[in-house]
Each structure stands twice: as C-alpha cells, then as structure tokens.
Structure 1
Amino acid sequence: MLEVEKEKAAYCTPLPSSPILYQVKDGNGGGIDELKVNLADRTCTCRKWDVTGVPCCHAIAAIFDIQAEEEDFVHEAYRKTTYLRAYNYPIVPCPGERHCPKVDAPMIPPPIKVGPGRPRKKKEKGST
C-alpha cells in the first residue's frame, strides 16, 4: 500500500505552512486539488491516512519534503513488533463436543415477534 502511494506522491507538490502543516497540490486526477496535511496529528483532508493508518500520497509528499522516512509515519498496528506481540501467547485448545458438560435445561424457542404493518393475506393471488 505504501509503495503505491509513493508512486502517486510524484504528482503532488507540498507547500509548507509550518514544519508540521502542509498544503499539498495534487495533480493525480487530471485537475488540481489542494489538501491540508498535518504531520503531527497524522491527518490529511482526503482522510485516507486517518482511515487506513498508512500515509496517503499527499502526506508522503510532505514527508519527503522534510526528508524523513515514510515508514515512521505508518500506524503501529502494521509493524512487525505488534504482530509478534499479538501472537506471542499460545492459543489454548478447546475440548471437543463429547467432553462438554451436559445441561438439563429445556430448549425453548424465542418468542414470536409480530412485525409492524398490516398482516399478509393467507390467500395467494394465483388461486381461485
């Protein structure tokens, strides 16, 4: 995902407003679009960075302008250390159905709800 956005960033022109705020002109879609990128909050007007956690092409253009590594701006959920921490603990196996305790509770169906609106006719249209 990051590599695709890096290719699109070649068509973006970052204009710094401050060291962390940028106005980025995007020429990808034929016309020119102007978006606001905040590197400190990790947000962009297109909201792609906000939703995915991976910098969009506008943010990458701003990151290239400050000569930083774009991998440092990717959300930590995509990092290898997070993956290894998530699968660090063993998964406890479940016993089979045969070894589950027996329960003597009666099986009662859920109550029937009457839907809103007029009830349907019992007679079908095609019958005489």
Structure 2
Amino acid sequence: MKAKWKGDLYKNLLWECASSTTIPEFEGNMKIVRITNPALHDWLKEINPKHWSRAFFSGLATSDVLLNNLCEVFNRQLIGGRDKPIITCLEYIMEYCMKRIVVVLKQIAKAEGHLTPKASIIFEHIKSEASNYSVMWNGTSKYRVRERGGQDQCVVDVDARVCSCRRWELIGMPCKHAVAVNWTMAQYGMNPGPPETWFSEVYWMDTWKKVYKNTINPINGVNLWTPSQVPTIIIPPKHHSQIGRPSKKRKKSANEEIVPVKHGKMSQRGNTVTCNKCNAKGHN
C-alpha cells in the first residue's frame, strides 16, 4: 500500500477500517475510503477482511494488538547472533532472553494494582469516556447504554460479558459501555465488583507474574560438559564460503518488498530515466 498510496491520510483511513469492531462500522469506514480514493477501495476489497480488520475477528485471541511488532523487535535483537554457528547462536539467544526476563522482573517489582501498567493506562482512557454515558436496566442481565448528547447506543450483557460494540469480547477489556454499567450497578448496591475484575486474565498482574516466574538457568562451560558416550561422530557439513562480506539483513519475502521512499519521492531503482529536454532515455 505504501508504494501506491503514501501519506497520513491513507494510513489513517486504513487504520480506521482495521480498528473497526463491528461490520456496520467497517462498512461505513470503507465508504469513506471509496469516496476519498476509489482505487484504494478496490485494492482493499481484494483482500479478505478477516485477515486485517478487527470487525471480522473471532475474539479468541483476546488482544488489542493489530501488528506483528513484537515478533519484529525480537527478530531484530538476534541480528548479532544470526551469522554465528548454531551453538553460539543459541547461547546468544539464551543470554538475550535471560537479560530480557530480568528487565521485566524489575518492572513487575515496581508495578502496583490489579492490572498490568499498559492495561492501567488504557483503562484510564476508557473510564474518561464511560462518564459520558447513561445506563438503563431491563430487569435481567442486559442494559441499554446511550451516549449523552450523541448517537452511540449499545446493549451490554453482564452475564455473557459481551457488548454489542464487540470490543469487550474481542479485546478482553470492558468497553466504555460496560464500565458505565458497572458504575450504575455499584450505585444501586448490586455489588458487581470493581471494573478491573471484568478484564480478561491476560491483563492481570498475577498473570504477568506467572509468565515471568519461569527463568532460564545458566549453564556450565565446555570444560565442565560430560563427554558423550554415543559412538556416532557427527562431522561438520561441507561448507563453501561465499565471496564478499556476508549479509546480516533478514531476507524479506516477495510480499514484504516495498519500493524505498527517500525525501518523499519514490526510488527510481530499476527504472529508465528520461531527459526533460530531448526526451531521450538513458540520461537526464
């Protein structure tokens, strides 16, 4: 997409569609894309939205992440050990993971509250939005939640832990509508519990601690290893060193290849230039 449609305008239009949680919201954002740029709309229509729009996700992941940045960051950290022999590469990965776990354990020791620090920041934003909504109970487990002075209106089922905006079931965090219902239930003595308890367990501090309680144990050096009693001897494979300095960059797939952009202009790599004066090709 970046190779054909550059700029924040198209990027924001894409994110509006990707972040939509309901199909009507997705279709409304796609109409805006079609009005802005029909070619971009037709290009996006060719891609199945179940692969890139939250409105078509199942909710099994219980995550607010739409990017693979976590994998890319980890992959980038391994550049230093990628060109090493297999044992050295594994030791490099082990050392990085040991350091990473220690860093997170220090963050956990400083953190307070029922939720992880990131979830707490998001929850503060949700609470500020929930204060603008009014709630009406229907006598069962369902509540109508309406925005004061707005058109947003949803139905929350506290027993099923779902909202018609689908954010609660997709992300695992109670949406602004659910938080408003929680406050109303507490106001009338229905004892719903703190809103933090309505979060999925993946956002709890206890879960975060359980994830990082398993550490990587250090190992002894080669001089303390027990010699193997297996009679089979594994010899190194035949290897021919290539000419030139080996590349450390990860080889990208065809789908990842993007034409580079410098100073707001597309690269002319692979293109034949044309002279503006004589209209001849091959020079400028």
TM class by smaller structure: 0.5 to 0.7
Corresponding residue to 2:213 among 88, 97, 100: 88
Q: Deviations over 1:22-68 (max 9, x none)?
A: 111123xx532220111122211112222221111111111111113
Structure 1: gaps of 5 or more residues: 95-100, 108-123
Amino acid at match of 2:166: R
- Alignment partner of 1:63: what SS? helix
Q: Using the alignment, how far apart are the partners of 1:3 and 1:37 within structure 2?
A: 20
Q: Using the alignment, how far apart are the partners of 2:180 and 2:150 within structure 1?
A: 18
Q: Percent identity?
A: 26
Corresponding residue to 2:155 among 22, 26, 36: 36
Q: Using the alignment, how far apart are the partners of 2:150 and 2:133 within structure 1?
A: 12
Is the CA contact 1:23–1:36 (under 8 Å) kept in the aligned structure 2? yes
- Alignment partner of 1:82: what SS? helix
Evaluate the alpha carbon distance shift between residue 93 and residue 51 of structure 1 in structure 2; reply closer, same or farther with a 3 A threshold.
Answer: farther
Higher relative helix content: 2
Count the aligned residue pairs. Answer: 107
Q: Deviations over 1:54-103 (max 9, x none)?
A: 11111111111111310110111111110111111112569xxxxxx864
Corresponding residue to 2:182 among 63, 66, 71: 63
- Alignment partner of 1:66: what SS? helix
- Please give the TM-score of this superposition, normalised by the length of structure 1: 0.67
- Alignment partner of 1:55: what SS? coil
Q: 1:104 maps to what in 2?
A: 237
- Alignment partner of 2:131: what SS? helix
Q: Deviations over 1:1-39 (max 9, x none)?
A: 111111211111111123421111123xx5322201111
Corresponding residue to 1:12 among 121, 133, 138: 133
Q: Using the alignment, how far apart are the partners of 1:46 and 1:102 within structure 2?
A: 61
Q: 1:72 maps to what in 2?
A: 197
Structure 2: gaps of 5 or more residues: 1-121, 187-191, 220-233, 241-271, 274-280
Q: Using the alignment, how far apart are the partners of 1:18 and 1:91 within structure 2?
A: 53
Q: 1:25 maps to what in 2?
A: 146
Two-structure CA RMSD over aligned residues (Å): 3.0
Q: Using the alignment, how far apart are the partners of 1:102 and 1:49 within structure 2?
A: 56
